[in-house]
Amino acid sequence: MFHGVTFLDPISPAGNKFAALAAAGYFAAMSLPFLKMHGAGNDFVVLDGRATPVHLPSATIRHIADRRRGVGCDQLVIIEPDEGGADAFMRILNADGSESGACGNATRCVAALLAEESGARVVTIRTISGLLRAEILGPGLVEVDMGTPQLEWGDIPLAGPADTLHLSLALGPVSDPAACSMGNPHATFFIDDFTHLPIELIGPKLETHRLFPERANIGFAKIESPSRIRLRVWERGAGLTLACGSGACAALVNAHRRGLTGRQAHVVMDGGELLISWTADGRVLMRGPAETAFAGALPELV
């Protein structure tokens, strides 16, 4: 277990940030450099495992993610080499140590890093759920092709055959969600008001409901107009986060399937706003910010 964190000033946007920091002598020989990044407030500890593999036990991941005893993050992300032709493989580990199949906000952050290193405008990133294409639109602005949503119950997956547009699921003030997979399972409840919605109480119970054999991300969406959705998401393995990129994609997909929105909408979350588009050919595009907050070192991990 590590005993402290070294925090550094924000670093320049050019080149390989990890290599530049190590070359500058910021880190002790037995320390592991990291970048703290976020997309609309959904925050990550990003590690570079391309030159030297990074393997962390679940207990260490939980310690790093702890906001009082560690660095603090929703997910820990490890950039790894990819043998299939992508620019990199991205491993996503939730704050509880479990592995996630997709994270749209983390994808934008890693895409921004890879593009800075190579000078490319378009990069491809592989996850355990598939290949993602990302395009740099401007400083700190990235669009990711999140792929095609999976709408069949077995692909999400659910525990058994069900109408994914209207699940027979209710708890407290919420009921009748729609479900899909955006590389990980999502259920979206449509609500009228957040004022008295006890997300911290019902979120964990819905995440682990027997209907979801792999647990699920639980979204609570208020449709403000056909082109604007207010969203909060209880993420499996991370809890209530300031933003959830795949959850925003799922909310737009499920809202459009219900006839509540068009195929494009601004999805407003506690930490910021994303523009989600479900194209005519079935792809879901997510556009939003990617920012580096600071850099540091985790001592005694390697």
Annotation: CATH topology of 6-146+289-299: Diaminopimelate Epimerase; Chain A, domain 1 (3.10.310)
pLDDT at 31: 77
73 classed as catalytic: no
Instruction: Single out the catalytic residue among 103, 109, 180, 249.
Output: 103
Q: What is the pLDDT of residues 140-171, one digit of tens each?
A: 999 999 999 999 999 999 999 999 999 999 99
Give domain limits for the chain.
6-146+289-299, 170-281
* Fold agreement between 6-146+289-299 and 170-281: yes
Residues of the chain with pLDDT below 50 are 1-13, 302
Instruction: Single out the catalytic residue among 73, 180, 244, 249.
Output: 244
What superfamily does domain 170-281 belong to in CATH? Answer: Diaminopimelate Epimerase; Chain A, domain 1 (3.10.310.10)
> Tokens in use for 15?
């080149």
pTM of the model: 0.89
Rounded to the nearest 10°, the torsion over CA 95, 184, 120, 79 is 40
103 classed as catalytic: yes
pLDDT at 114: 97
**Contact criterion met (CB below 8 Å) for 222 and 193:** yes
